[in-house]
Amino acid sequence: MTIQNKRIIASILFVLISFVCVAQIPESGPPPPGPPPPKGFPIDGGLLYGMAFALFYGVKKLLFKRSH
C-alpha cells in the first residue's frame, strides 16, 4: 500500500468520524441520576479481623518453622 493510498484512507476515516461526532445531539441538561446502589454486605470489620488473623497465623507459622 503506497503512502498516497494511506493518506486517502486516513482522510476518509477522518471525515467519517467527524460526521459521527457532529451527529451527536446533546440532551437538554445532564441525564437524571441513577438509583442508589443496593445495600451490600459490609466487609469492613470482617476484613480487619481477617487480616489480623492472617498476620497472626503467618507469624506463628514462621516461628514454628524456625524452631523445628
pLDDT in tens, 10-65: 999 998 888 777 666 666 777 788 888 777 766 667 788 888 999 999 999 988 87
Q: What is the pLDDT of residue 42?
A: 65
Q: How far apart are CA 22 and CA 24, in angstroms?
A: 5
CA-to-CA distance for 64 and 36, rounded, in angstroms? 49
Rounded Cα gap, residues 23 and 6, in angstroms? 26
* pLDDT score, position 57: 95
| Site of grid cell 503512502 | 3
Distance of CA 27 to the CA centre of its chain: 26
